Structure formats: structure tokens, C-alpha cells
Amino acid sequence: MKTGQKPTFDFFRSLLSSNMVVPLLVIVLLFMTLSCNKKNNSIPSVAEVYEILNKQDFGNLILPITSVTPSANTDDLAAILPFLSDKLIVALGESTHGTSEFFTLRHRMIQYMVKQLNFRVLAIEANFSAVEAINDYIHGGPGTAKNAVENIKQSWVYNNLEFLQLIEWLREYNNGQSVVNKVSFYGFDAQHCEPSSKRVQSYISQYAPSYLTVFDTTAKHFLNDFEEYFATYTNDQLLKILPKSVADFQSRWSKVSTYFQNNKADLIAKSGDRAYDLALRHWEIVRQTFSRFIYVEDELKTFNHRDTSMADNVDWIKKFENNKKIILWAHAGHSGSDNSTTTQMGYHLKQRHQANYFSVGFFTDGGTVRVIHEVNGTPVLGEYKIDPKSEHVITQAFVKGNWLQFFLPMSAISGKPELKNLFSKSWKIYFIGSDIEKTTVEQNLGTAYDAIVFLNKTTATKP
């Protein structure tokens, strides 16, 4: 939906849609684009930027990445180790969701960070409750990796060969580890009520069956993701009804919360404190989801609400996992720490954790990408070509210098004012969410990220 347009029925459904991974990411891209108007009109050419990079010995500041294949030798990653080893939260944020090499390189880095740096939690940009099936699987649960991934409603981003290979590796790794050394897997997003309320329903069914009927009645809207609202009302009606309905949703949510608090001792005695705390978090995800309906006419507030919730969930996960080191997997539009146009999850985490939070942005100059795009006027999920663009001056300069595959810590340029000034500018770059509506935005790489990864030519994920 374009900024300034009246929200449509599809927009409301996109808040809880099974077809969109980051339905509001397009919105933040649009806001980022609006900031272009504030720029100095004098844009350096590719040749001028290349000349600065070359004179400042850029080639010796970057850390070359020799392979994106998970099974490759890790000698090149050893050079990256000092920048990550003392961090408690490392975000690996892709600029496009459907890029194969971003998946496989992150897989490779995750293996290394787990084995060499003692990271023991991986959390992705997906519904907190739906992702629990993946955690069950990598800890030896029944079924297949594909079954576990399909629990994520917005699974097309993760429903690919590259991601499944990572899940299989995590299961294999955990199989040989003690309980304390096993890797745990979480989602930190709150886009759906149904999986969360059903997890709570399952808990109540097992530990408080006498309350189940009351719960089912109280939580009826949450258990089917508000289907009766979307099936009954028009767009114009939803604009008025959804924000006003939040008070009723909150009342219903509070009644269940009160039950949990009033019966805390008895529930913990039956289930244990971790199962109790986890059920409460599933219920909190429900509240985070319906609370966004307050902002159905304000895209920016909706996006900021979602990112604040995601940051809160990351902090909860970290505490629940006894402050183990955590890797985050998300779009760079969430994991970056800039707040010039939106208040990103990464900004909150940087403010809360300072130097313990480290954000890496993954970028490309072109190739193909898996994304929702139009074919003969019909939205289709599939491979889409993104050609190198002359307006993408910074990535074009990387290519001109034959710096095609590297990791750049921003600390490497801190002692070089000319380079620091260069990376403090806003540059047009590929930045693609779940659909192709907006492909290019401006990014301040030196402000938003502690490091960047650049891969010259990339390909679409394999379904």
C-alpha cells in the first residue's frame, strides 16, 4: 500500500496474512525513500567513489569472503572472529529476503559462531509461537524439517532448500551435545494470534482443563486470527471497527492473564516454571499482535510498534535462555540500528545493549531474487531479475574495484576520515522485502550497521 492511500481490505488482512512475511516492510522502504529529498543534490559518481576507496586502501581494510558454501573451509571466517567474539547479540540482516547466497553464507557463519564463539540461540523474523515447532525438531522431535518450517504461516521466505539445510544441521549438531550446549531456536515476531493462542490453549488443556471452556470462549477471536471480522465487514467498516475493538480484545486478553496470575503457584507446581513462563509469552504475543490494530491508518506507527515488540521479544528470549549469546536473522530493515525514518528493532537493541549488540547488513549489486512480483497483472511468487543499477553508486564502486565478496567492519574505517565521511552518506542500494513494489532505498551504511557483507552477484533461493 502506498503512503497516503486509504487502507484496503487486503491491507488489514496483510497484518495477519499467510502470504506476506513483512507486509509493512514496504512501508518502511517508502519512508526511507522519502528521506532522499533531504539529501544534498551533489551525488558523487561511481568513478569518484572508487577513487576515494582506492586511495584510502579499501582493499586492505575489507576481509575477503572466499566461499558462501556452508561446508567450505572456514579460514576466511577466522579473520571475522575478533569482531564478533565479545558480542552478546549479533544480527545478520539481509537486504533481500529471497537471496540464496545470504542464506548459505549465514548458515556458514552460524556454524562457525556456534562452534567457535559459543552462540547458543538463533532467532528469526517469524512468529514467536509458530517457530516453536522448529525448536522441537532440532532438539530431536518427530517429523521433518519441512513439516516444522511449514508451521510458519508466512513460510515462503523460509520454505526453501537453503533454510532446510540449516535446520537439518542444527538438529545434527544438537544430537551430539549435552543439554546445556544445545542450540535453541526462536521467532521474535508477533504477526499472528492463532499459533500463540493455540499454544496457550494446549497448555491450559494439559494443566488446567477445568478452565478450558472459559478460555475458548474468551479467546475466540484470537484462536482464528479474527476471521469473523474479515469475513463480515467491508474495508470502510474495518477502518472504524478494528481500532475500537482493541479495547474488547484487551479486556479478553486481561481476563486470561488474570487467571494465570491468580493461579500461578498451582500452574507452576503442575507444569514447572519454564513452561508457565513460556505460556505467558505466547499470550503476550497475542497482545502485541492485536495492539497494532490501533494504528491501521498510520503505517509508520504500525511499523514502529512491531519493531518495538520484536526488540522486547529478543530481550525476553535472551533472559529466558539465561543470557546465552544469540544470533538474530531478519531483514536489514529491522536489524539495522538507524532511526532516521523509523525506529527499528536494531535501534532499540543498540540503545539497550550498546557495544554488546552488533548488526551486520548483507547487500548485493544484482542477480536474481525470489520475491512476489506481478506477471501479466497477477502477483506471483518466483524468481525475479535485479540488474546492477548505475544509481547504486556505492555497490557499483565496489564492483569497479573488483571488491566482489567481503566483510567490512565499520571500525576498520574509523581512523580514516575520508572513508568514514563516505560511509556516513546515504546511498541508493537494493533493499527488497516480501514484494517487488520497492527495490531501491537509501541506506546510511556507516550509521545503520556495525559491519556490512557485500556479495556481487546473487541468485534466488531454491523452493
Q: Which pLDDT tens digit goes with each residue over 117-140? A: 999 999 999 999 999 999 999 999
* Residue 154 confidence class, pLDDT cut points 50, 70, 90: low
**pLDDT value, residue 8:** 45
4 vs 77, more confident: 77
The pLDDT value recorded for residue 18 is 41
Question: What residues pair up with 379 in beta bridges, in sequence order?
Answer: 374
Q: How confident is the model at residue 342 (pLDDT cuts 50, 70, 90)?
A: confident
CA atoms within 13 A on the CB side of 152: 29
Residues 6+ apart with CB under 8 A from 329: 91, 92, 106, 122, 123, 124, 125
Residue 330 reports pLDDT greater than 60: yes
Q: What is the pLDDT of residue 6?
A: 43
With CA atoms as reference, report the closest residue to 247 among 293, 180, 206.
293
Predicted model pTM: 0.92
CA–CA distances in Å: residue 127 to residues 79, 266, 303: 34, 29, 15
The chain-wide mean pLDDT, for the chain, equals 91
Q: What is the pLDDT of residue 34?
A: 44
- Residue 102: per-residue pLDDT: 98
For residues 197-215, average pLDDT:
98
Question: Lowest mean pLDDT: which of 16-20, 80-84, 219-223, 262-266?
Answer: 16-20
Q: What is the pLDDT of residue 16?
A: 55
Contact at 8 Å (CB) between 56 and 418?
A: yes
Residue 14 pLDDT? 55
The answer on pLDDT for 15 being more than 70 is no
Beta-carbon contacts of residue 126 (< 8 Å; ≥ 6 apart): 21, 152, 154, 157, 158, 187, 189
- What's the whole-number mean pLDDT along residues 345-367? 97
What the block records as the C-alpha cell of 343 is: 525506529
Predicted pLDDT of residue 319: 98
Count Cβ atoms within 10 A of the Cβ of residue 275 and give its class: 0-12 exposed, 13-18 middle, 19 or more buried. middle
Instruction: Say how many residues make up the chain.
Output: 463
Instruction: Tell which wins on pLDDT, 36 or 208.
Output: 208
DSSP string computed for 290-312: HHGGGGTT-HHHHHHHHHHHHHH
20 has pLDDT over 60: no
How far apart are the C-alpha atoms of 430 and 456, rounded to whole Å? 12
The pLDDT, as a whole number, for residue 437 is 79
pLDDT of residue 92: 98
Give pLDDT, residue 300.
87
* Cβ neighbours of residue 369 closer than 8 Å, sequence gap 6 or more: 96, 97, 98, 99, 383, 384, 386, 432, 458, 460
Minimum mean pLDDT among 116-125, 335-344, 356-365, 421-430: which range?
335-344
Mean pLDDT of 275-283: 98
* H helices, E strands: number in the chain: 22, 11
